[in-house]
Amino acid sequence: MKNLRFKKLNIDEFYEIYQDMETQFPKNELKSYDVFVKLLNTDVLDCVGVYDKDYLVAYFLYVSLENGRKWLEYIAVRKEFHSKGYGSKIMQCLKNCYLEVEKPNISLPDTIRRIDFYKALGAKKLGVNYIYPNDFGGLPMDLYYIGENSPCYEEVIETIAEIFNKLHLDVKSMPQILQSIKLS
């Protein structure tokens, strides 16, 4: 694990990633494969594979923001590589980025574990009533930031608007969800 290798993946390589995403993320947090392909083909979204030797151990998808920061849309360690320290190692390399994180739920201990994991790496919860736009009416989530110089409220709202207009144009209720975030 000393020499993790990060590689930007192409569309053909993304198919394997999407198959893994379907097993690791709830349906209400995933876009269709076709929407992902469109976002990747138009360079809105980048997909990076993380390799240890020749093994794909993890991946993340992100958006480069106009202000130079990043929006981490998805990150996952493949199941066969869980609990081996890869997540921590990868997150230590990701700085100045926003993270969408599910709300804590004591009946789902993994939510608490993930939140504690991000906090232990220095992620700070941002004071915004965030809703992940989806075709099911939106999913309330928390928004975190990892890096130095946490953004001010105005920058957070501008960033959310940028992300919604880049990533979520496929969601019919996106304008209403964005407006509800701005008003909170």
Q: Give 122-132 pLDDT, tens digit per residue.
A: 999 998 999 99
pTM of full prediction above 0.85: yes
Containing domain of residue 116, as a range?
5-183
Split into its structural domains, the chain has a count of 1
Question: How many Å apart are CA 162 and CA 141, to the nearest integer?
Answer: 18
- Angle at 39 (CA atoms; ends 147, 181), nearest 5 degrees: 55
**Residue 33's CATH number:** 3.40.630.30
For every one of its 184 residues, what pLDDT tens digit does the chain have, with 9 covering 90 and above? Answer: 678 999 999 999 999 999 999 999 988 889 999 999 999 999 999 999 999 999 999 999 999 999 999 999 999 999 999 989 999 999 888 889 999 999 998 888 888 988 999 999 899 999 899 999 988 889 999 999 999 888 999 999 999 999 999 999 999 999 999 998 876 5
Locate 131 and state its tokens.
Answer: 């809703």
Q: pLDDT digits over 91-117, tens only?
A: 888 889 999 999 998 888 888 988 999
